[in-house]
Structure 1
Amino acid sequence: MKEKTGGFLAEFRKFIARGNVMDLAVGVIIGGAFKGITDSLVSDILNPILGIFAGGNEALTGLSIAVPGGGAIQLGSFINAVLNFLIMAFVIFCLVKAMNRLYRKKEEAPAAPPAPSKEEVLLTEIRDLLKAQKEEK
């Protein structure tokens, strides 16, 4: 029984120590912080501007449709969620695009060296002939 536990814990420790897991953890933390920025952008800047066009000169989050029975469809809150999603998706798209461009530059193989010129080939042959003559003596 202890072997399985030790093996499991060792495997878990190895999994955590991998760079990808740490990168993912950092990404989640930064993503959470960035979500706060996009929430503020949408609610504090875009909502009042869009509220002007929605009518009533109030924030877009107040936009709702009353339904019979006393409820309301919170259309403004839904639009906020869609705007947050679109902003986050756009930023992630830009980051992935930049990372792909960076990896492509790293993966490009260096150009093959140019073929030797006729003079270089001739000089190489002369050198080899001189070496051969020297070795014969």
Structure 2
Amino acid sequence: MSLLKEFKAFAVKGNVVDMAVGIIIGAAFGKIVSSFVGDVIMPPLGLLIGGVDFTNLALVLKPAQGDTPAVVLAYGKFIQTVVDFLIVAFAIFMGVKVINRLKHEEAKKPSEPPAPSKEEVLLGEIRDLLKEQNGKPPVAASVTPPSAQ
């Protein structure tokens, strides 16, 4: 098989396409979460802490000199990124939890009892014939306790 045919067979497999869709949706979801954290969660949190803007929190390690920019440890952006990660991780956890619950419920569904084998059907017919010979009406497939007979 040529290299082009092998690549085509690989690229059109369902798993590869599903993975590509997942990556694209994941990237879009990441942007939404970043905006949610940066624009909705962090401003009120900063206000509660005392008017702190997390994106501007930084420690200057070496001040700017002439054309050389300052060396800054931007821990506020890091805090914001950690909150982004926690929200994404929690959303993925909840999604996986729902999927696992659905799979578990599907597995718990009772399956139909297997059809009786030829031997069981034959034995049931023999039982019914013997009961008829003894003058008792045949009993259904369920067993009745001796006190009920």
- Is TM-score (shorter-chain normalized) higher than 0.5? yes
CA shift, 1:9, in A, is 2.0
Q: Which amino acid aligns with 2:72?
A: A
Q: How do 1:68-107 and structure 2 match up within 5 A?
A: 69-70=62-63, 71-107=71-107
Partner residue in 1 for 2:6? 11
Partner residue in 2 for 1:59? 53
Larger Rg: 2
Q: TM-score, normalised by structure 1?
A: 0.70
Gaps of 5+ in 2: 64-70, 133-149
Cα displacement string for residues 37-75 of structure 1 (whole angstroms, at most 9, x for unaligned residues): 1011111011211212443x14211112233x2133211
Partner residue in 1 for 2:145? none
Q: Which amino acid aligns with 1:106?
A: E
Identify the structure with the greater helix proportion.
Answer: 1
Alpha-carbon spacing, 1:106–1:19, altered in 2? closer, same or farther (3 Å) = farther
Q: TM-score, normalised by structure 2?
A: 0.65
CA distance in 1, matches of 2:48, 2:75: 14
Gaps of 5+ in 1: 131-137
Cα displacement string for residues 11-32 of structure 1 (whole angstroms, at most 9, x for unaligned residues): 2212222211111111111111
RMSD between superposed Cα atoms in Å? 3.2
CA shift, 1:81, in A, is 0.7
